[in-house]
Chain A
């Protein structure tokens, strides 16, 4: 029994190894980022705490963003982070100590900046399809007219038969 299990394991090994090899980099990357970011986060712990609090809209976006690529998270997060820089400015101006965390988070303007940033992200994410569709339609029309023009040029140069197969004119004797 043990021998058969061992054989089964041995037989399963190559596939498992191949799957692990293909998935390993993807799995390792977040941990790599976390392991790189963690010392910085611990070193700048007050800033990290303020940033985490200010980036709550981004966490929400991450939760509601099921699409691969997490573009909603990136969109909202980027502008949320830009808005959160107000808090960072306050915190770092106050010496970046634990005591400055609460006064910083009490700044209404900072919250306004952070939330407006996040809101702008949401707005861009929502409006961008309309803009993209419009651009795509224009681009499609331009490209289609270019294609049709090229086809007309070919017909002008080679005649109608270029549209289909080799249909040559064959007429009876008409001297």
Chain B
């Protein structure tokens, strides 16, 4: 791996042998959320002002495999991307110099924007632009960006003032910031997100589509024209206002705008995706075409309010939003029947009893018995606000973003437990069932959930929550404690990463853990049930060690790699007891020699076959040992018989002596008779 080359070059990090990224030279003004910016030197074109974003290593980076851009667009676009060696904090705090070790991180190199950020600090007010300036400086470049992104099949999901730069100075034309370094929408303020994503946690927002970008663009245009009247509100209040009044009305706050502007903003800020303006509508609007105004799609009002979180709520989605924000109060209100009563009487809907009964039954049927009330609240939120994300205790996640959400909570035991409870309670399946229309995206989510259902209930390595993490998002980097710093997203890189990580790991570190097993199980084409079963039973030490070897061999079989000396050495040490378990002493020596030979070639497949429990060597050893044991027992029996006087028994000796004496006498007499006969004849 690159860790070696890093050591040779000091603090130099090279990307594609051209861009030198300087870990010691921060450019914090270009930071993008969790992706930190560093200075870059272009060795091919000196003097260019570049910066690199070093992306977090715990979630997939969508900037690594971008398709080729077909047109120049007013947006920061990666000049180069790739995974580079990078100093990361040492897990122990002191293994490397200054508490850092060399790992690997995705890096994206950009040209530095020449203008300033539109919003340097969230506390500062936004500039106010006229209708013409918005159309020329905001909508026009946005259309070019969204058109190109649409052609490439990706959504920007980071359209907000703090991610927009001026092309020059501090006003005028704009350049959109980058959007590939962090998960989609994760740094967006809730107000720039649709109702579907606004309530979700930062890492629980869906990758979305161009419709989400157009919505964000609408919010941006409205704020730049009229200011942000919701800046003092919490996320829950913002989402609540959007639910109650529709996004346009909530954000416009009754301010007057020109009919043309209102037409565009209403179209972009439609809460119903099917009614929302598309890029084509926007293009036509720019050309001066008029459209019928999009009317807000408001939820049905109740005849009487329900009080939750200190507010009186008049519709189901708003009540669901408040329940999600005030979980404990929601628990009480669901438990004492207040919510059920409000749903029946507030809407004069006696038929609601049937779905409520079903929700109760499902809550009791799936998941651990202790969390039934929480699941009931969660399922009620899904029923009342199907466009809200899945809400369960502290988890707020859009089902399309469960992978990144799990990645963000997997190292936090309380949240991880909540996430697992949510999966075991089949709440995501419930969310899908509550959606009014089954889209292809929902069908894909449903398929993924069906796959997860089979593994979440199994606790052994290769299954459970670790497996779910990699099943949810195939691009998820492996989170193993051993190789988590190496940003391993493909099976091909797994063994080289383990090989590179072993020298820096504590003595006795195994080259396999639950994360590596789950990561491999997700990506290995052939079934590896047996390997996982062996690895999941440490009580059988030899089987456990063979499980590790067989898993590694399975990876190598799929991606041959013969240059893994440190992994080979670790496996040799690991397999010592397995070799010692051969009964025949000569076999141990022979097997050990062969293993050393295979290890020198990093041939783990041959090592696994050599030590295979069902292989000819092992079976021959077992059979031979059984025969040897049996032979030893027979010999022991004979020895004891001999020691017990088997041959020297007095009665036996006496009998033998009598027979011997009779034979001897008869023999002598025969001789005498023969002599007598000869004498008589002669």
Contact = CB atoms under 8 A, between A and B. Distances in A.
B657 interface: yes
A139 B647 contact: yes
Given A75-B665, A158-B585, A168-B542, A148 B639 contact: yes
A129 B645 CA distance: 15
Interface stretch (A3-11, A24-32, A120-128): A120-128
B332 interface: no
Interface stretch (B131-139, B162-170, B551-559, B573-581): B573-581
Contacts of A143: 638, 642, 647
B642 A175 contact: no
A69 to B, nearest CB: 7
B681 to A, nearest CB: 11
A92 B680 contact: yes
Max chain B Cβ within 10 angstroms of own Cβ: one of A75, A124, A137: A75
Contacts of B581: 168-170
A159 B586 CA distance: 10
Interface residues of A, number: 54
A151 B542 CA distance: 28
A162 B508 contact: no
A71 B583 contact: no
B580 A89 contact: no
A156 B632 CA distance: 12
19 contacts: A71-B662, A72-B658, A75-B658, A75-B664, A82-B669, A82-B673, A85-B676, A89-B680, A124-B661, A124-B665, A128-B660, A136-B647, A140-B646, A144-B639, A150-B631, A154-B632, A158-B584, A158-B629, A175-B573
A13 interface: no
A128 B661 contact: yes
A163 B628 CA distance: 9
Given A71-B662, A140-B647, 8 more contacts: A78-B662, A136-B656, A144-B642, A156-B585, A159-B583, A162-B628, A168-B542, A173-B541
A74 B629 CA distance: 47
Given A132-B656, A144-B639, A175-B508, A125 B661 contact: yes
A147 B634 CA distance: 10
Range, interface on chain B: 35 or more
B665 A162 contact: no
Max chain A Cβ within 10 angstroms of own Cβ: one of B581, B658, B679: B658
Given A82-B668, A136-B653, A148-B639, A69 B658 contact: yes
Given A133-B653, A136-B653, A173-B508, A74 B625 contact: no
A173 B538 CA distance: 10
Contact of A132 (B645, B657, B669, B676): B657
A136 B654 CA distance: 11
B632 A147 contact: no
A147 B644 CA distance: 14
Contact of B666 (A74, A128, A151, A163): A74
Given A121-B665, A136-B653, A159 B585 contact: yes
B672 interface: yes
Nearest to A164: B629
Contact of A151 (B635, B648, B652, B657): B635
Contacts of B631: 150, 154
Interface string B576-603: 1100110111100000000000000000
Nearest to A129: B657
Contacts of A174: 508, 576-577
A88 interface: yes
B577 A162 contact: no
A1 interface: no
A50 to B, nearest CB: 14
Nearest to B661: A128
B676 A88 contact: yes
Given A75-B665, A78-B665, A79-B665, A157 B586 contact: yes
Contacts of A147: 635, 638-639, 642
A168 B658 CA distance: 52
B507 interface: yes
Contacts of B643: 144
Contact of A150 (B507, B583, B635, B648): B635
A143 B422 CA distance: 75
B636 interface: yes
A136 B665 CA distance: 20
A170 B639 contact: no
Interface of B: 507-510, 541-542, 570, 573-574, 576-577, 580-581, 583-586, 624-625, 628-629, 631-632, 635-636, 638-639, 642-643, 645-648, 650, 652-654, 656-662, 664-666, 668-669, 671-673, 676, 679-680
Contacts of A79: 665, 668-669
Given A132-B656, A132-B660, A151-B635, A158 B625 contact: yes
A172 B541 contact: yes
B658 A170 contact: no
B541 A162 contact: no
B541 A170 contact: yes
A70 to B, nearest CB: 8
Nearest to A79: B665
Contacts of A162: 583, 625, 628-629, 632
B482 to A, nearest CB: 13
A175 to B, nearest CB: 4
B259 to A, nearest CB: 75
Contacts of A77: 665
Interface string A31-56: 00000000000000000000000000
A76 B668 CA distance: 11
Nearest to B656: A132
Given A79-B665, A132-B653, A161 B577 contact: no
Nearest to B650: A133
A78 B668 contact: yes
A9 B442 CA distance: 100
Contacts of A120: 665, 668
Contacts of A168: 542, 581, 583
A133 B573 CA distance: 59
A158 B662 contact: no
Contacts of B639: 144, 147-148, 151
Nearest to B573: A175
A72 B662 CA distance: 7
B654 A129 contact: yes
A67 B658 contact: yes
Nearest to A156: B585
A174 B578 CA distance: 12
A23 interface: no
Interface in A80-138: 81-82, 85, 88-89, 92, 120-121, 124-125, 128-129, 131-133, 136-137
5 nearest CB pairs, A to B: A82-B672, A78-B669, A129-B657, A71-B658, A140-B647
Nearest to A149: B635
Interface string A10-22: 0000000000000
A128 B541 contact: no
A85 B625 contact: no
Contacts of A69: 658-659, 662
Contact of A124 (B570, B586, B629, B664): B664
Nearest to B664: A124
Nearest to B629: A162
Max chain B Cβ within 10 angstroms of own Cβ: one of A78, A125, A170: A78
Nearest to B586: A157
